[in-house]
Amino acid sequence: MASPTTSLEMQRAVIFRADALEEIASTLRGQLASTRGSLHAALALVGALPKEVKDIVSREMSSTTDPTSQIQILRPLVRHLINVLGFVETYLSHGTRRELSESLADEIRGELADLGVADHQVVLSHGEANNYATWFGDLSEALFRPLGLASPQMPPAEKFALFRVPRLEGAGVQWRPVLLGHEAAHVAVKAKDAVTTFDLRNKFDMAAAGNFPNPKAPVGTSAPFIARALYQIAESWATELICDLQALHRFGPAAVASLAEYFECIGAMGQMSVTHPPAVLRIRVLLDEVGPIADGRLNSIVMPWSDYVPAAVTLSEPWAQHLAEIFTNNRSALSNAVAVLATSPYDFDGRREWVHRAADRLAIGLPGRDSVAVGGALQIAERADTVNAAWLARVEGADTPFDSLAQKTIESTDFAHNWRDSGGTVPLELHNRSDSVDAVLSDEAGAYVLSEDALLRRMQLDHNEKGLVVARPLPCLKVRVSI
């Protein structure tokens, strides 16, 4: 039986947590470097919540004297504060960590800009080793809407994209297709309503769906509810498959390798979840979409998985099999949904020389070239070249720290793109490539000290042993490059 003393105690519970949340948000903001602008903004929004909650308590308690009614209003308020405290702990309390660099956040911002959703502020944090978690949307809405504020009192919309990534794969170049390809795509799939383009409604047989009890509507539930639950699962699966195909669209073979390797490692291949299709289906769809890869070296990136995943996926649960058939029979419609995201595709066949050369350098302990002068014009590597090169180096057995070298390549490449886009000029002669080892050595014959021109020719030389490369030292280099 609720009494006025119980109601007062619950009021204290709300106020105590509201005050604590305010202090936590303030302390976390105080510890941050000024460069972490998105994190600052998120914490500022959280810090504004406690005052609103306390105002509501004051208002509602004065208009309702019945302790039972008072407690019913206080319970969701305190639960909301608990939820927000958990959210802060999970997404916003990581401070500054080396593996969560601003350059990685910048890569995500760049991808979101390409996807047309640059209005989202990016916050990265570390999460479980077996999960990427992405949340995006209006944080102001998530924090303040549950309070039932009238429109004029609602803080303005503030869109965020929050990514919780495994410490290893989150920072690794090899898994950029998961983070930049799949996870970032979620934001645009929602914003551009790509699932509607897939047109699930007209591919989903409502009457038939009622015959497939599922984890959201078990046996004994009436047919409309079974159909509703299966439709909800199908919407989630469609979203995931569209994001997978977007990763393929942006990264080519590396998308297959990075998603498949990660899924197999975390045990996702056979998982029939209500939110995600089993990974065996996801990889099958990707392999079917990419088709035969003519270049043998690029094909070796996907070969471990084309060997592994059956040509026809069979799932043990009837509801899951029913959905699998909907999506495998409508793969072209999934691709049409990817098209509405309107990003440029990665032409992996056209870029194969870049990938080969970069992989060769990674395999001997060198970062890839960021730029090459071709016919008097400077060409800059693409991020996907480097990601594919990292996978190629890996499948070809490189024992160098190829992922760190690929990271260095991406940083240089991004710098070169930004430099050029900002109007910067680059001395072309630095990026003329040469294979003429004999000519270079012959020019140097008899010299004890290399001249500026001789050093330049060495830097232009693409040769594992005789080329000169200026790069930061990395640990565990097993092959040294010498003059």
Partner 1 sequence: MVTTYSSRGVSTSKYDLLHGGSEVVDLSLLAARTAAALRRVSVTGQPSEADAQVVHAMAHLLGEAAEAMQFFDSGGREGSPPSGALAARVDAAIDAVLEERLEPEEQTALSQRLSRLAARLDPSAEQLTPAEATNLADYFSGLASAVLDQAGHVGEITTTL
Binding site for partner 1 (CB under 8 A): 60, 63-64, 66, 68-69, 72-73, 75-77, 79-80, 83-84, 86-87, 90, 135, 141-143, 145-148, 150, 162, 196, 201, 204, 206-207, 210, 215, 220-222, 224-225, 227-228, 231-232, 273-275
Residue 43 or 255: the one with the smaller Cβ distance to partner 1 is: 43
**Under DSSP, is residue 365 helix (H, G, I), strand (E, B) or coil?**
coil
- Name the nearest CA neighbour of 179 among 161, 158, 196, 191: 161
Residue 85 or 426: the one with the smaller Cβ distance to partner 1 is: 85
| Shortest spacing between CB 230 and partner 1, in angstroms | 10
Residue 162 or 355: the one with the smaller Cβ distance to partner 1 is: 162
d(CA 135, CA 235): 17
| Shortest spacing between CB 82 and partner 1, in angstroms | 9
Residue 225: count other Cβ atoms within 10 Å of its Cβ.
13
Residue 227 or 440: the one with the smaller Cβ distance to partner 1 is: 227
| Shortest spacing between CB 216 and partner 1, in angstroms | 9
Residue 263 or 348: the one with the smaller Cβ distance to partner 1 is: 263
Residue 135 or 415: the one with the smaller Cβ distance to partner 1 is: 135
| Shortest spacing between CB 204 and partner 1, in angstroms | 7
- Name the nearest CA neighbour of 400 among 333, 464, 331, 316: 464
- Name the nearest CA neighbour of 91 among 39, 27, 45: 39
d(CA 253, CA 355): 11
| Shortest spacing between CB 72 and partner 1, in angstroms | 4
| Shortest spacing between CB 357 and partner 1, in angstroms | 43
Residue 141 or 444: the one with the smaller Cβ distance to partner 1 is: 141
Cα 210–215–220 angle (5° rounding)?
55
| Shortest spacing between CB 363 and partner 1, in angstroms | 41
Measured CA distances, 343 to 10, 116, 185, 197, 249 (Å): 52, 9, 10, 16, 8
**Under DSSP, is residue 123 helix (H, G, I), strand (E, B) or coil?**
strand
Residue 134 or 464: the one with the smaller Cβ distance to partner 1 is: 134
**Under DSSP, is residue 165 helix (H, G, I), strand (E, B) or coil?**
strand
Instruction: List Cβ neighbours of 401 (8 Å cut-off, separation of 6 or more).
Output: 365, 474, 475, 476, 477
- Name the nearest CA neighbour of 278 among 287, 288, 268, 286: 268
Burial of 307 (0-12, 13-18, 19+ CB in 10 A): exposed
Burial of 321 (0-12, 13-18, 19+ CB in 10 A): middle
| Shortest spacing between CB 372 and partner 1, in angstroms | 44
| Shortest spacing between CB 220 and partner 1, in angstroms | 7
Helix H or strand E encompassing 65: none
Residue 306: count other Cβ atoms within 10 Å of its Cβ.
18
d(CA 348, CA 168): 26
Residue 214 or 400: the one with the smaller Cβ distance to partner 1 is: 214
Residue 28 or 260: the one with the smaller Cβ distance to partner 1 is: 28
Residue 58 or 68: the one with the smaller Cβ distance to partner 1 is: 68
Encoded tokens for 311: 């040509």
User: What is the CB-side half-sphere exposure of residue 65 using CA atoms within 13 A?
Assistant: 0
| Shortest spacing between CB 246 and partner 1, in angstroms | 21
**Under DSSP, is residue 414 helix (H, G, I), strand (E, B) or coil?**
helix
| Shortest spacing between CB 66 and partner 1, in angstroms | 7
**Under DSSP, is residue 482 helix (H, G, I), strand (E, B) or coil?**
coil
| Shortest spacing between CB 119 and partner 1, in angstroms | 16
Residue 66 or 288: the one with the smaller Cβ distance to partner 1 is: 66
Phi, psi of 162 (to 5 degrees): -105, 125
d(CA 181, CA 156): 29
DSSP letters, 241-272, are: HHHHHHHHHHHTHHHHHHHHHHHHHHT-TT--
